Amino acid sequence: MTQQNIPGGRHPDYIRAILDRAVKMIGEGLLDSAEVLLGTLSNEPSTREVTAHLLGVIAMRRMETSAAQLFFKAALEANPRNAEAHAQLGALLLDERPVAAAAAFAAALTLDARNPDWHVGLATAFQRLGFDDLARDNLADALALSPDHPEAAKRAAETREIDELPQEEDEALLCDALFAEGTRRQAAGELARAAAIFERILTRAPEHAFTLCNFGALRRVMGDLDASEALLEQAIAIDPNLAPARLALAETHMAAGRDPEARAQFETAIELEPKDAAARAAYAMALQKMGAVQESIPHFHHAILLDQNRPAEFYAALGSALQAMGMRDRAEIALRHAAALAQAQ
């Protein structure tokens, strides 16, 4: 079927056939032919990400480093959640810009932490920046995923330190890379490691608001409510419009039994991000915990309208609120859904 016979452009199956053929050609080393084939999709907006990515792979195979970087950056502009493009960009930057490489590998691992090569890449970048403890953590992760990984043991014996970063923008980028690594550790439940990374960031950049926010939330989980409140208030003082810090402070107030203060922070967060389903859901669940079940119901409904993909605890709280309101049939539906989600996890 020709393009002219397809209303609105090429058929998706035709596009997929071209992309599959290009991938096969790259695998066979037919780089020029693959590049020509991908050129036929230059006017297809839907293929912008994958085409740029594949052209980056071709440039990388040709050792055209600068061109490959540009292609991978274009792929990431089209889709910032392309973990492989982040990692390939990191590999290209590793020798000349270890700070940027660390940021790229950290971004890749934030999206998918199952690739041992990416852990080794991040470890190598951290080693070159003098962060041997962070390098060891990632090498251990690589070996846990692949015990016979050929590079992990080799890297464990290498150290190289950079006392000063050459450019001011590299300092900011390094803090962002460390923040991504700390946040990933925090999400994985590695609280002590995450705390150590956040502390390191704050020694370099005391006003890194996102770090103050996440560190404040972490301190609450670790049971230090006073430290949590201080960190979160500092984050809000730096950026009053940082909704996640408002939400985290609300949760800290809740944990300390300060319901009026919690309400105020939840409401401010919702004013700042009215379309944030997580903020609505958090406030709804907080109101249910406070016993304000009637007030919580509209917020539960609003959160669902924004995003139905809420976790099991959300639907369990909704079920409890509906039960307290005497709406047993609706409560049963919510509680069954919560149970199904919990079982699926």
| Tens-digit pLDDT profile for residues 126-177 | 999 989 999 999 999 999 999 989 888 777 766 555 545 556 678 899 999 9
Residues 6+ apart with CB under 8 A from 328: 322
CB of 255 closer than 8 Å to CB of 225: yes
Q: In this structure, are residues 279 and 247 in contact, taking their beta carbons and an 8 Å threshold?
A: yes
Task: Check pLDDT > 70 for residue 279.
Answer: yes
Per-residue pLDDT tens digits for 244-257: 999 999 999 999 99
pLDDT above 70 as % of the chain: 93
pLDDT of residue 161: 52
Mean pLDDT value of segment 291-315: 96
List the single range of 11-15, 63-67, 239-243, 317-321 with lowest mean pLDDT: 11-15
Q: Could you tell me the pLDDT band of residue 4, with boundaries at 50, 70 and 90?
A: very low
Residue-level pLDDT at 345: 72
C-alpha atoms less than 13 angstroms from C-alpha of 160 in its C-beta half-sphere: 9
**Could you give the CA distance from residue 323 to residue 298 in angstroms, rounded to a whole number?**
15
* Average pLDDT for 58-65: 96
> Does the pLDDT at position 54 exceed 90?
yes
**Average pLDDT score, the chain:** 92
Compute CA 264 distance to the chain's CA centroid, rounded to the nearest angstrom: 28
Q: How confident is the model at residue 3 (pLDDT cuts 50, 70, 90)?
A: very low
**Residue 1: its pLDDT value, please?**
34
Catalogue the long-range contacts made by 76-84 (C-beta closer than 8 Å, 24 or more residues apart). Answer: 78/48, 78/49, 78/52, 79/49, 81/111, 82/49, 82/53, 83/107, 83/108, 83/109, 83/111, 83/112, 83/115, 83/118, 84/53, 84/108
Q: Which of 5-19, 53-67, 277-291 has the lowest mean pLDDT?
A: 5-19
Residue 6 vs residue 107, higher pLDDT: 107
- Global pTM reads 0.86
How far is residue 40's CA from residue 166's CA, in Å, rounded to a whole number? 42
**Distance (Å, whole) CA 277 – CA 285:** 12
Q: 5: helix, coil or strand? A: helix
3-state secondary structure 41-92: CCCCHHHHHHHHHHHHHHHHHCCCHHHHHHHHHHHHHHCCCCHHHHHHHHHH
The Cα–Cα gap between 340 and 338 comes to 5
For residues 277 and 269, give the distance between their C-alpha atoms in angstroms, rounded to a whole number.
11
